[in-house]
Structure 1
């Protein structure tokens, strides 16, 4: 089995304890030589400053290639491009360009009257600066606001045409979900790399909440398996096995890159990576 390239997502800390957890997470995973790491942006832009601080610190202190999340939420075009310029000034060369979720208390995204109306508009503007390699989000299961998966794929194609060079998917629970999506992307003429987003299940109840929010299907067999594992105190063992098996299937189907949503809890991610042959002793190539 080929050794995959890996990347990791972190989120910026909003407390002292969370800050320690972030740096412990980065320290634990940096030796695995990720192709890149990304830092999220809170709903409604609530962690804008924290994201910038985390991105620049991770890049300087750990020497990692950091992709900063950037959204359209509650900001003018000028403000958003100023943030992008501040990243460029700090030496950041990659951005994960997203429309962003609605601010807390709002049911759906509403564009700022002077802001970008969509991720495509944001990508076009960032592409015009010539400063960044752009990654975007993708949905192997229908986005809550999309008619169906085909609509999501066609919107993804528009984002690629606007200047994005690769996409990272929302997490999913079964390898076939991603493989069907990948096949549909190829059928629709998308040639850019589609990187599967992997979320090791730190806690099953939390994973189900995340799934409900983003429209990911929860397989009944996993619900039953985790219920039994919880009774027996084997949740971590099951989570590691389930995630490793899914990643192994993806690799055997030709997937070369895996992006892990770490939730700033590195243990399971590190265990899965080790099981896949990604260890500090393995020198990985950078993503092209």
Structure 2
């Protein structure tokens, strides 16, 4: 898992966040690392400035990865484009990456889809959206799953999430929390059509058992299970903040087109509120 890592960065990135996060991940999880630094077409650049950017990137990599055993095998290049997501999507079709790492940007609006969202919707590779913080020792890791789904895509997605969770917990010595949200729409809550607390209490025991049954397949005995009723995006964000999770692992169904523009994915809505790292895994189509 995560043997080949693609790191996305740009010259305006704060404190080389994605590169430092890649350094944290690389030694235990990765073998091959490729770093792409993007420059917008609208920025002033020529062959000389591109060469300067390339040299600056190589110097930065040598400093950050100075203690990395395979530092000499790290690949890097500078790419000029105004559509990072499209470039990465096409590039990943010819390269078998296991993980993408980039810094999160939260400037979204209704008629503009940020690079983060485009990558999640279009790339079949798990995407680690990094925050500007290093992990603490024995940090909290939270995974969001739905153990009641019966269709193949959701079942495979649950397994992928828990496989990554187990790998991450084992590698980085995390405290693991698994969340199952009993979905209740905001409309029903706003209209008082559902007593959210009573609904949660009624279904908690059964839901916890379903989570435990699924976890039994992954040999993760020391897991704290959370069952909370509500709108998934709000529940996941709130629970992550409550337990002070430094990593949230969740799935995405990769909704595209008009439905993606108007409604988005739960993962995208969660990312809007999170101030922590998130690993998003797209469901296989």
TM-score computed with the length of structure 2 as normaliser: 0.32
Q: Which has the larger radius of gyration?
A: 2
Q: Which structure carries more relative contact order (alpha carbon 8 Å, separation 6+)?
A: 1
